[in-house]
Amino acid sequence: MTTEAFPPSVRPNPAGDRPRVDSSAYVDPSAQVIGRVVIGPRVFVGPQAVLRADEPDAGGRVHPITVGEDACIQDGVVVHARAGTEVRIGPRCNISHGVVIHGPAVIGADSFIALRAIIYQAEVEEGVWVGVGSIVMGGRIPAHVWVPAGSLIRSETDTRSFRLIDLKEERHKKDIYDATAALREAYLRLRSG
């Protein structure tokens, strides 16, 4: 992995940790990728997104923000973790415009976090749909659950009445994934001249 072909907004933290960005990923020039951030293959990081891993634990170690392959971090997303914690975003996740993820946090593979949602010190298992403007504060959302827009989740108990994702939502996730993959490839072609 290299950061050589990426903009100056991909930079080290004060501890000297440098981002590692796979060469097949696209990071928009206006995005900020700071410190111990690992961006996997074919990831898309949109305009004004911020991924910042810069707060050291008591031993001086900064824990990582990891973004799995084929994930999409859309415009204006903020990902950060307090000292001594990490954030893991799984493969093929779609993190929509304006989402805030503050660690410790885990977003499982194939999850969709909709516009302006907040994930704060929580675990979202694989295949989850978190609706627009929802707030997840602590706890865990079980796999393949559909969280309605505007929900407030403080524990797994709060999700008991929620249904599983249906075929329509799975198709919507795939449509977004396909559109983002095409966009990523188009931007990579522009970058390579």
Distance, C-alpha 153 to centroid of its chain? 19
Position 5 scores a pLDDT of 53
Q: What global pTM score does this model have?
A: 0.93
Q: Which domains does the chain have, with CATH numbers?
A: 10-191 (2.160.10.10)
Q: What is the pLDDT of residues 92-135, one digit of tens each?
A: 999 999 999 999 999 999 999 999 999 999 999 999 999 999 99
Instruction: Kindly tell me the sign of the dihedral angle through the C-alpha atoms of 54, 59, 60, 63.
Output: negative
C-alpha 49/C-alpha 52 separation (Å) is 10
C-alpha 125/C-alpha 143 separation (Å) is 5
Q: What is the pLDDT of residues 70-91, one digit of tens each?
A: 999 999 999 998 899 999 999 9
For residue 7, give the H/E element and its range: none
